[in-house]
Amino acid sequence: MEILLAIIIGVLYAAAIYMMMSRSIVKLIIGLALLGHASNLLIFNMGPLVRGRPPLIHEGAEVPIPPFADPLPQALILTAIVIGLGAIAFAIVLVRSVYQQVGTDDIDELRTTER
């Protein structure tokens, strides 16, 4: 399962970078979103993947009995997903207003601040 996820993460990273290489602003945003997903899955893969064993402490015991699913990476991803959602939502709105002002979705046209 870990290996399968690792391959998916690799594919996601590759797709993200491919999309970001494009000159279209929209593809760039899609690339950024994929990059975020790849990082989230990477963290998910960090804790050992255990099915059907929630990290609950049984009555009378002090610690849960291993193997159990590591809750921390999931908490981290939850935080990261929320932050990523906000950032991408903002980026989409920004792209829309850039498009309205500049009238193009070609990144090469956005050069007026570098002259």
Partner 1 sequence: MTIPTKMLILLPILLSFLAAIINILAWNHRRWQRIVTLVATTLNLLVALRIFMVVYGQGPQAVQASNWPAPFGITIVADLFSAIMVVITALMGLTVAIYALADITPQREALGYHPLYHTLLMGIYGSFLTGDIFNLYVWFEVMLISSFVLIGLGGDRGQLEGSFKYVTINLISSAIFLAAAGLTYGVTGTLNMADLRGALAQVPGGFATTLGMMFLLAFGIKAGLFPLYGWLPAAYHTPPAAISAIFAGMLTKVGVYALIRVFTLLFVQEVAYTHSLILMAAAGLTMVIGVFGAATRSEFRRILSFHIISQIGYMIMGLAIFSPLALAGAIFYIIHHIIVKTNLFLVSGVVNWMQGSYDLKKLGGLYKTNPGLGVLFLIPALSLAGIPPLSGFWAKFVLVRAGLEAGDYAIVAAALFVSVLTLYSMMKIWQFVFWQKAPEGVVERGHGEGENGRFFRLLPIIILATCTIIIGLYAGFFFDVAQQAANQLLDPTQYLNVVLQR
Tell which positions 34-63 bind partner 1, by CB under 8 A: 35-36, 38-40, 42-43, 45-47
Size, binding site for partner 1 by CB under 8 A = 36
Please measure the distance between the N-terminal and C-terminal CA atoms of the chain and give it in whole angstroms.
Answer: 51
Which of 83, 85, 104, 106 lies at the binding interface for partner 1 (CB under 8 A)? Answer: 83
- Rounded CA separation 50/72 (Å): 13
Q: Which of 41, 54, 53, 50 is nearest to 5 (CA)?
A: 41
> What is the phi/psi pair of residue 106, to 5°?
-95, 120
Say if residue 64 is preceded by a cis peptide, omega within 30 of 0: no
86 lies in the binding site for partner 1 (CB under 8 A): yes
32 lies in the binding site for partner 1 (CB under 8 A): yes
8 lies in the binding site for partner 1 (CB under 8 A): no
6 lies in the binding site for partner 1 (CB under 8 A): no
Q: Which stretch binds partner 1 (CB under 8 A): 49-57, 61-69, 75-83?
A: 75-83
- Per-residue DSSP letter, 14: H
Task: Decide if 67 contacts 50 (C-beta within 8 A).
Answer: yes
Interface contacts to partner 1, rule CB under 8 A: 20, 25, 28, 32, 35-36, 38-40, 42-43, 45-47, 72-73, 76, 79-80, 83, 86-88, 90-91, 94-95, 97-98, 101-102, 110-114
